[in-house]
Structure 1
Amino acid sequence: MVDVPNIENPFDRYARIVRNAVGVPVALVTVLESAHQVFLGGAKQLPEPYCTTGTSPLTHSFCQHVVQGGRSLVVDDAREDPELRSNGAIRDMGVVAYLGWPLMDERGVVVGSLCAIDHEPREWTSAEILMMRDLAACCSAELDVRMREASL
């Protein structure tokens, strides 16, 4: 009998790399759908019900701002940000500091976000921001491959 290796979700791997490299309690790979965001990776670090459902409503999404704006979002303390302070993720998921980078498909359309989340305010360093940019490019390539495979 041949042992089949445990195949890890590649998006959980990206989330783990971000958590370890940046030193945050939560990192996620997300994509947006019309009424909610889907956690492709890292959901196990979230509180219930999000870790079980693997989704959250857009009222609890910082990643939607990355997708809609088409650019990174760097937030040191969301509780102080007039646009974000009413976001349900602050109360229900403990999101305080957020660093999100766009995930793009092969046409350059932003479909999701690779993000780092801290429960405390923090000032993101230029090294952390550059690392997220590079990892998001790699994660985008992986996501694009998976999306093309799913459409076959």
Structure 2
Amino acid sequence: MSFDPTSHLLLTPEDAEAPNRVVRLRELGLGEAPVPEFDDFARSLARVTGAPYAMVNFIDEHRQYFAGLYAPGADQAVELDPSAGTSVGRVMARDHGYCPHVIVRRKALVLEDVCDYPRFAGNPVVDEIGIRSYLGAPLIDRTGMALGTVCVVDQEPRPWGRQGLETIKSMAAELVDQIHRREHTGP
């Protein structure tokens, strides 16, 4: 008899806060449409980390929405066609990727090579998009709620290290400040 160590580890974490998060995101006017400032933020995040993909991601009960997106070869953020194989679109199922883990954990996640972690190696983004490394941090709102994440990914293993961790956490805090300013001044 063989044992598959990943069979019980691939579940997306339960997210009891999702219904309240949806309400808060609606109050903020986020999670339903691209935000040009968040596309700019994603571009900056990609530049600072040297990663080819960067996202500002809001998560509800069923899906993830990239309100900010930057992809390789784009001098501005673009909406890519997810049916084209190795590209990322604005919407992704909740059980794809690593951001749902970040939002439930409420702390940053560094995966220099996702294949080193049985829990994460079997995620659909590995086979469908070719993701091999991930660096993400939660966006913790002034209310204490995790609204979403900022993240970068690459199709190659990346030694993000402590500097990468500090960078993603700092950039997440910067974006939370921007979200709070939007809340007070309007989009």
Q: Is TM (by shorter chain) over 0.5?
A: yes
Matched, 1:13 2:33: no
The equivalent residue for 1:109 is 145
The C-alpha deviation readout for 1:73-101, integer Å capped at 9, x for no partner, is: 00011122111111111122221110001
What TM-score comes out, normalization by structure 2 length? 0.68
Letter in 2 for 1:17: S
Matched, 1:33 2:60: yes
Distance 1:19 1:46 in 2: 16
Give yes or no for contact 1:75–1:98 (8 Å, CA) kept in 2: yes
Specify the alignment match of 2:121 in structure 1. 85
Q: AA paired with 2:43?
A: R
Retained in 1: the 8 A contact 2:88–2:129?
Answer: no
SS of the aligned residue for 1:42 comes to strand
Q: Percent identity?
A: 27
Q: How many residues align?
A: 142
Alpha-carbon distance between aligned partners in 2 of 1:144 and 1:56, rounded to the nearest angstrom: 25
Counterparts in 2 of 1:46 and 1:65: CA distance versus 1, 3 Å:
farther
Across the aligned residues of Structure 1 and Structure 2, the Cα RMSD in angstroms comes to 2.2
Trace 1:58-137 onto structure 2 (pairs within 5 A): 58-137=94-173
Do the aligned residues in 1 keep the contact of 2:139 with 2:150 (CA within 8 Å)?
yes
Contact 2:108 2:165 in 1 (8 A): no
SS in 1 for 2:45: helix
Q: Distance in 2 between matches of 1:132 and 1:59?
A: 22
Q: Distance in 2 between matches of 1:145 and 1:88?
A: 36
TM-score w.r.t. the length of structure 1 is 0.83
Measure how far apart 1:51 and its partner are. Answer: 4.7
Structure 1 residue 143, shift from structure 2 partner: 2.8
Instruction: Give how far 1:146 is off.
Output: 4.2
Unaligned runs of 5+ in 2: 1-34, 71-77
How far did residue 24 of structure 1 move? 0.9
Runs of 4+, deviation exceeding 4 Å: 49-52, 145-150
Match of 2:93 in 1: 57
| Higher relative helix content | 1
| Mapped contact 1:72–1:101 kept (Cα < 8 A) | yes
What's the CA shift string for 1:10-51, capped at 9, x where partnerless? Answer: 111111111111111101100101101110101637552475
Gaps of 5+ in 1: 1-7
**Structure 1: distance between partners of 2:171 and 2:79:** 19
1:3 aligns to what?
A: none
Contact 1:26/1:45 (8 A) holds in 2: no
Cα distance in 2 for partners of 1:22, 1:110 equals 23
